[in-house]
Amino acid sequence: MGAFFGTDGLRGKVNVDLTFDVAYKCGNALATLKNRPTILIGCDTRTTCSFLTCAFSAGATNGGANVVDLGIVPTSGVAYLTRKLAVDFGVVVSASHNSKEYNGIKIFDKNGYKLGEKIETELERNFIQNKVCTFEKIGKYSQRHRLVKDYQDFLQNTTNCTLSGLFVLLDCSNGASSRISPKIFKNLGAKVKAFNTHCNGLDINENCGALHPEKLAKKVVDLGADMGFAFDGDADRLIAVDHQGNVIDGDMVVLGIAKHWKDKGMLKGDKVVGTSHTNMGIEKQLNNFGIGLVRADIGDKYVLEKMLTQNLVIGGEQSGHVILKDFHTTGDGILTALTLANIVKTTHTTLNDVCFAKPFPQTNVNVEVGDKFKVMNNENLAHEISKWSNFLGENGRLLIRASGTEPKIRVMVESNSQNQNQQIANRIVKLIEKIR
């Protein structure tokens, strides 16, 4: 990671970390990577998206790029359209699952893949330059919001049956899936009830969506729905809920789809990609099904790297990022939801049966800090991590990492005992709070 780019592009509080100047420089720098490139840009529903889209577009057009504004669209929609239309770059203005005061900039290459760290570093170097074109060579800005319909058609065509007879609830997190996901499920024949579909930008991810699936779980049970799907602000995450109100995280989703694909002879290499955070219980169940787990660093672009190098077709994170590589180049919450609904429909079963899992108890705590690097490089913390890792041995795991998108240290403890997990986590959190 560089000075500006984290594990998922630029991210920060608007007008604090992510300013007009930073967005302008990012657009201008991207325009220098190719001669007069064409750049697609889309956003989620945050009120600050228009501000940052204008800033980025001004910098890009001043550098000679032509910018095509897609309007509100899921992150994966930008990736899909970038590849389909054969343009040079796709850009998303979104802070994904973060609250409304945050925003970010994600960049895809012409193939629909997120930029690698090498290109991000080159892009950062160009921030210090200021490319200004002559009058004749200044790029154009245009709006083509109707292109989102092409992405909608792509998603609908990934299913091989209608979803008639299914009652599906959708929690759109007041984000980018609010307009498109209910249409898709309805067009495929499902009975649909959607929640949190405001597009005013003031309550995106606020007590709803993939970060708060317990609210959707209650609605699924109360309304007697077959399943529920909760997206985050830019719809690249999915957390599912079965008809009994059980929450199904990204690990369990990967398990369910992988087992179904293996039974159908569709699982290349008989392996899936997870992360260092993937639950040990999930790994054991995968192994019982004859499926191996390849672990990557946390971050969906690192998951994808493993998938590409080993030619594997499914990978994901516990947080709900799931990549189905035979269909798409990046995580897509709506695509994943459609895949699960399709499996339920064609197998005449329930989501609980498809994604049944016995994960180990896991304690996760996020600690806000002033200096992530100071904390992570502290010798006392290193000693504490070593002590508890040795204590857990093969019966558990301890993971301490700095968030790539927020000023937080993430603590995860996993073993057969939730009480033990909590006690160990509490000790480590206290030490981090002392260091910070």
Q: What is the largest CA-CA distance in the chain?
A: 68
Over range 117-138, report the average pLDDT: 87
Tokens coding 134: 């002559």
Do 21 and 138 fall into the same domain? yes
For residue 300, being part of any structural domain is answered with: yes
Asked if the model's pLDDT at residue 5 lies above 80, the reply is no
Do 410 and 297 fall into the same domain? no
156 membership: H or E segment, kind and range: helix 148-156
Asked if the model's pLDDT at residue 427 lies above 60, the reply is yes
**CATH number of the domain where residue 218 is located:** 3.40.120.10
Do 134 and 174 fall into the same domain? no
Do 187 and 314 fall into the same domain? yes
Q: What digits encode the pLDDT tens for the residues 275-315?
A: 988 999 999 999 999 999 999 998 898 999 999 999 999 99
Do 188 and 323 fall into the same domain? yes
Do 229 and 82 fall into the same domain? no
Angle at 65 between CA 64 and CA 71, to 5 degrees: 145
Q: Which domain holds residue 277?
A: 158-354
For residue 397, being part of any structural domain is answered with: yes
For residue 237, being part of any structural domain is answered with: yes
Instruction: Using the 3D structure, point to which of 92, 127, 148 is the last residue of a domain.
Output: 148
Q: What digits encode the pLDDT tens for the residues 157-195?
A: 999 889 999 999 999 999 999 999 999 999 999 999 999
Count Cβ atoms below 10 Å from residue 349 Cβ, excluding itself: 12
Do 125 and 17 fall into the same domain? yes
For residue 28, being part of any structural domain is answered with: yes
Catalytic residue among 76, 96, 173, 178: 96
**CATH number of the domain where residue 388 is located:** 3.30.310.50
Beta-carbon contacts of 157 under 8 Å, excluding residues fewer than 6 positions away, are none
For residue 153, being part of any structural domain is answered with: no
Going by C-alpha positions, the residue among 185, 30, 189, 196 that lies closest to residue 119 is 30
For residue 22, being part of any structural domain is answered with: yes
For residue 140, being part of any structural domain is answered with: yes
For residue 45, being part of any structural domain is answered with: yes
Q: What digits encode the pLDDT tens for the residues 23-63?
A: 999 999 999 999 999 999 999 999 999 999 999 999 999 99
Instruction: Using the 3D structure, point to which of 112, 127, 148 is the last residue of a domain.
Output: 148
Tokens coding 294: 């390849």
Do 312 and 406 fall into the same domain? no
Distance CA 386, CA 390 (A): 6
Q: What digits encode the pLDDT tens for the residues 63-109?
A: 999 999 999 999 999 999 999 999 999 999 999 999 999 999 999 99
Residue that has been written with the tokens 């057969």 in this structure = 416
Cα torsion at 150, 151, 153, 157 (round to 10°)? 140
Do 189 and 312 fall into the same domain? yes
Q: Is 403 a catalytic residue?
A: no
Higher pLDDT pick, 301 / 245: 245
Do 134 and 162 fall into the same domain? no
Tokens coding 135: 């009058």
Do 214 and 323 fall into the same domain? yes
Do 20 and 60 fall into the same domain? yes
Q: What mean pLDDT is reported for the chain?
A: 94
Domain count, the chain: 3
Instruction: Using the 3D structure, point to which of 98, 117, 148 is the last residue of a domain.
Output: 148
